[in-house]
Structure 1
Amino acid sequence: MTNISRLAAALFITAIVTACSGRVPSDGFKDLSYGMSLDELHSKGFNCQSDEYFCQQDSGAGKRYTLFGKEASVAVRTSDGRLVSINVRVDLSSDELISLYAKEFGDPKTFTYRSFGGQSERHYWHAGDRGAISVTRSLTRGDPSSLGVTFTSADYLGPEKTQELLEEASGNTVQAGDY
């Protein structure tokens, strides 16, 4: 590998690690971080109960979140009373959202798996032990944008949820002949 190739690879990896370790592409929700307690989430306007896995933003919280310049709805997932992932829903189709992330972080890794609706494809950008960003796209339900539905979610995964994603990617891939 040439020095230029090594430098390019190092810069690419640095960009991905920076993205998944706290920097949110284009704008976002920088006040949230992996490991936050339920009390910290409550102070940020999230309604979290100790027995809940998902926490939604209180309707009167007043905090507005954005992703790629679009208003976004943010929910968080917790485990053992700590934030482990952030779910961001935005008015973009899955293809548009994947394209924006690809421009920001490069081509994603992709795997296909069986879902409730048939077959889905998960696109993800992995940053080692720092986390991952994941966008899921249905392959069997068609493009919902033809029906006027364009909302798509992106998941920002902390280290433990990233490990689950990688295990899913290695063990749950659907082969072309499965459908």
Structure 2
Amino acid sequence: MATAPFNPKALVASAWKIIPFFQSRNISATVRLYTKELGFTLGSEEPHFASLFAGPKAASNIYFSLCREESEFRASSAMIALGAEQHEALYAGLLAKREQTQDGGLSESETFKIVQEIRNEEWGFRQFSIADGDGNQLTFFRFLEGSNGEELWGGGEHLH
């Protein structure tokens, strides 16, 4: 019996999710920031690991592992696509939270910084970026033209 030639493209075409793996210097502070300030949902939390997610079927999932050795710490980054209206509302809300937290006495590990203000990019994205207290960066984007995922999660019905 002849074996089909190895075709990695056909095999990875079944991919349905990607999960970036970030490092954290303090898992509890990371969980508080991502759930309380950024709206993620906690999947699981252990002393050395956390899983946080957003979107339908946890489409945007990030794993965090505790890094105890400062010399081994490496910040990471990921991009998260949002619906057009939600993208704009999230940015406005984070701007307001930034104003509140500057006077709120939160520790640096419990806050975020907007490291790129919202702007349109020549490659067709409208995006902004934040960094958590460890320097991990999330870029939230939407397409300037075409689909912004509404067909996946039902459009604006999830707005609060």
Sort the TM-score into its range (normalised by shorter chain).
Answer: 0.3 to 0.5
- Larger-Rg structure: 2
User: What is the TM-score normalised by the length of structure 1?
Assistant: 0.33
User: What is the TM-score normalised by the length of structure 2?
Assistant: 0.35
